[in-house]
A and B are shown apart, each in its own frame.
Chain A
Amino acid sequence: MPGTSVLDDIELIIEDVSGGGRPPAGRDGGDSGGGGSRVPGGRSSARKYAIAISAAMVAILMFFMAMVAAFLVLRHSSPRWAAFQLPVLLWFNTAILLASSATLEVARKRQAAFDDKGFKRFWTVTTVLGVVFVVGQVVAWRELVAQGIHGSASLAVAFFYVFTVAHAVHLFGGICALLYVGLRKFRRSEMTRVAAAEVASYYWHFMDGLWVFLFVLLYFGK
């Protein structure tokens, strides 16, 4: 049955997609080896990351929505639900995070206008604001713990901790992305800094929106 046939000898029509600036096949070097694009040229690799981050955001949204569903169900059914006062600091943190989204957009505007210095400045401001937010959250947790409000006390408190910690962990990923875009020199990369900044901005705004949603939920739902 098996034997060589005419069909085996017909070569695949190979399209060369290596383009000009593609780095030599760095298979072991992390994300840089994934060429093979449908659209020859540089555009598709940015699209690849945009799709990846969108899919990741769907997964993250599912993660939080599952917890929100549990929150909404248990709020009415659990006998261990005792309301508590949210730390006032959260309002400040929310303002910081919203401001960071704004500065991020300003940075991208500067970048589009080829003002590299302005981009760098506002990008750094965004990163710092992100760090301030996380630090603010940590302070808020310590405040609560100092008041003797622990997760084991009431489900409302437990949900507060779980939501804020989970969000902070995800936001920390965002800070890493900001640092990566800000510090890396995109010279030999298959992606431009503009594209990388765009992908990072999707995630950052998503984290911002998610926080506002969670804050509203905790504020009215506690």
Chain B
Amino acid sequence: MQTPNHSDAIMAQGIQFAVLAQAFPVLRHDALKPIANAKLAAGMMQRTSGETPLDMSDERTQQLLNDVDVMLDEGVDTVRELGEWLTDSGKRVSMAALTRECTKLVFTHLLLSGKRITLAESVAGPDVALFGGRYVMLAMLLHLVDTMPDGSELLIEGRPDGQVQATIHPGKGSTLVRASDGRGGAMIAWTAVQTLASFYGWRAELAEGVFTMALPSASQRKAA
């Protein structure tokens, strides 16, 4: 692998920003979840107490207060974790967990399209750097999901050599498909996927309808 220069880094950051923008609705959804629950619990306390002051000795009030505390902690953790999309904390993650997370993050791209993603149990392999790996895997999924036909299935499998492969298969007759708003097409081009992969020492290839993502070599993984 060649040492990335400054312009490679700038280009990679641009692609990452485009990838992050596409995953943002789901990240926002997850960040809002504990806050929404806390607001619900606070509303409940207000409703149960009516116009009288909160009875702190009431068991249900105590439980709701405790729930609010837990939810706010959860909310703080979720917001803090968002920082890991911008700063590499050096965390590593298994390929299986990385693929699962990225599949969840493209959820909004599947809505009303009849498209499905199936993860085979064979997706395994060594731990990889979370920061780069997440952007690379997400870029590939976004490209594939946006370009695959409505109603089709994306099958992601692990290969014995540690690579991840993705193939597109005809759908099984999903009926809930609505026309997109005309902004269709891939938000992330395949060349952008390859550029980003290369920047982090991965290798993205397409041959005869099979998309493969080769992980960084062991030495590159240590350096990453």
Query: Do A and B come together as binding partners?
Result: no
Residues of A at the B interface (CB closer than 8 Å) are none
